[in-house]
Amino acid sequence: MEFLVSIIAIALMVIGAFGVKKKKKPLDKVIMFDIMDAGFVLTVVLFKYLDVALFAALAGPLSTLVFILSMVKIKEIRADKITCGEAND
């Protein structure tokens, strides 16, 4: 059973890594990063580092929130530059 779970964890990490590399939209990249993070947390739990897994499980959603907020802010800055005529900067 543990072997099957480890295969699933490795598959999640590989799919997430290739998805981050191949996807073009930033939100799709965040989704793929979360898939990769789920595989990482599962791998850490399999190696019985439960304190590290607890921290990773708590830090994962926070980092996702920061990524999404930064994407929104970058989009606003780019829109402001286009309306002001500073698109080449």
Kindly indicate the confidence band of residue 1, based on its pLDDT and cuts at 50, 70 and 90.
Answer: confident
Tokens of 10: 């490795």
pLDDT at residue 89 greater than cutoff 80:
no
C-alpha dist (Å) from residue 58 to 7, 23, 75: 24, 26, 27
Kindly indicate the confidence band of residue 15, based on its pLDDT and cuts at 50, 70 and 90.
Answer: very high
Cα–Cα distance measured from residue 48 to residue 51, given in angstroms and rounded to the nearest whole number = 9
Q: Which fold has domain 2-84?
A: Helix Hairpins (1.10.287)
pTM score, whole prediction: 0.76
pLDDT at 35: 93
Q: Rg for the chain (alpha carbons), in Å?
A: 17
pLDDT at 64: 85
- Mean predicted confidence (pLDDT) in 50-78: 89
